[in-house]
Amino acid sequence: MPVPSVIMLQQFVKLDFKPNSKRKLSLLRPSRGSIFARDNNTCQYCGSPATTLDHIVPKSKGGQHSWENLVAACSSCNKKKGSRLLSDMRDDKFKLMDKPKHPGPWNIMRLRLLAQAPKDGSWLRFFG
């Protein structure tokens, strides 16, 4: 049976999570897919297609799994940076194109949808 890749929302039931509940907090945590969607699948150091996730401040140096500390990166840049801080890089040109930001709750939902959307682009005209 054919299954549609796009459906139209006709009724919206708002699910209210308790403020600061564990469920709400886990929805706000960045996932690999949502970081890639936020960064447009682009390496935030050189602009090449991204294939890896980089902790700007490495986990070994106390870096958090947060929206502000994670960026999409190509494997070449990720390997070049290794577990160093950006301030420890010898190459002055090796820097972030933009400072990564927390996208806010509504954009997080958008990024999660983008991360899970079909790759054929059939849904694009429904998504502003």
Residue numbers 5-34 binding Zn ion by CB under 5 A: none
In angstroms, give the least distance from the CB of 61 to Zn ion. Answer: 20
Q: How far apart are CA 19 and CA 1, in angstroms?
A: 41
DSSP line for 67-102: TTTEEEE-HHHHHHHTT--GGG-S-TT---SS----
Closer CB to Zn ion, residue 77 or residue 117?
77
Binding piece for Zn ion, criterion CB under 5 A, among 33-41, 55-63, 77-85, 114-122 = 77-85
- The single residue among 77, 108, 111, 114 that binds Zn ion, judged by CB under 5 A, is 77
Interface with Zn ion (CB under 5 A), residue total 6
Q: Report which secondary-structure segment, H or E, holds 36.
A: helix 32-38
Helices (H) and strands (E) in the chain, counts: 4, 2
Does the protein bind Zn ion through residue 72 (CB under 5 A)?
no
In angstroms, give the least distance from the CB of 77 to Zn ion. Answer: 3
- The single residue among 43, 56, 71, 117 that binds Zn ion, judged by CB under 5 A, is 43
Does the protein bind Zn ion through residue 45 (CB under 5 A)?
yes
**Across 44-104, where does the E strand assignment appear?**
52-55, 70-73
Give phi and psi for 64, each to the nearest 5: -95, 160
Q: List residues near Zn ion by CB under 5 A.
A: 43, 45-46, 48, 74, 77
